[in-house]
Amino acid sequence: MKNIALFASGSGSNAENIIKYFENHPNVRVDSVWSNKSGAFVLQRALNLGVESHYFTRKEFYETDKLMNELQKRKIELIVLAGFLLLVPPKFIEAFHIINIHPALLPSYGGKGMYGSFVHEAVLLNKEKESGITIHLVDKEYDKGANLLQARCPVFPDDSVDTLAARIHELEYQYFPKAIEEYLCPKSK
Ligand code: GRF
């Protein structure tokens, strides 16, 4: 079994979708969910689905080895960032494979401060005709690692942040679990 740890800071609808996708998977299991926000809804979603969930502090993440050691003890093969808002410190990037999802077509609309509704606002402000998602490996800079997959959707003139976010979420639900599966268990081509 290949163990995944999910990191999320918010609602966690992607985390929930990933947990459900791998529930009865023969080769991949979601070991645990981790959040830097003690009140994040993702922690509750994980518990409802019978997956362990944990809160960690900024200090534990950046200044101690507590979290690293715990993940290594659990033999985590892949950390999946699903709406996780902190910059991952280099020691994690050296120790683990890490995948992130970004709700736009990188390299556009990426970088510091470009997350959640700020991304969709910027896309709408620029009157883009399309947007999408980017699933990529995590490197030492925000949104700069190699792309694993991009998927596109239209942006309509009457879109609001909410309607665009909903369309992007649908793409995320469709592609994110499969991209994780393909990364961990590549099909021979
Ligand atoms: C997603 O749009 C993801 O791309 C971004 O944050 C959002 C998280 O949504 N990084 P949710 O918490 O999974 O509902």
pLDDT one-digit tens code per residue, 94-121: 999 999 999 999 999 998 889 999 999 9
Q: How far apart are CA 56 and CA 65, in angstroms?
A: 12
Token readout for 60 is 């534990």
For residue 143, the model assigns a pLDDT of 66
Mean pLDDT to the nearest integer, 128-151: 90
Tokens 């494979």 map to which residue? 97
Q: Are 67 and 56 in contact (CB under 8 A)?
A: yes
Q: Kindly tell me the burial class for residue 50, based on how many C-beta atoms sit within 10 Å of its own C-beta (0-12, 13-18, 19 or more).
A: exposed
Centroid of ligand 1 to alpha carbon of 189 (angstroms): 31
Ligand 1 pocket member 83 (CB < 6 A): yes
Mean pLDDT to the nearest integer, 21-28: 97
Q: Full-prediction pTM beyond 0.75?
A: yes
For residue 145, the model assigns a pLDDT of 85
Sequence-distant (6+) residues with CB within 8 A of 187 are: none
Smallest CA separation from ligand 1 atom 12, residue: 12
Q: How far apart are CA 14 and CA 2, in angstroms?
A: 19
Cα–Cα distances in Å, from 150 out to 62, 69, 100, 153? 30, 33, 12, 10
Tokens 């459900």 map to which residue? 20
Residues written for the chain = 189
For residue 188, the model assigns a pLDDT of 62
Residue 189, pLDDT above cutoff 60: no
Ligand 1 atom at shortest distance from the alpha carbon of 169? 2
Q: Are 5 and 71 in contact (CB under 8 A)?
A: yes
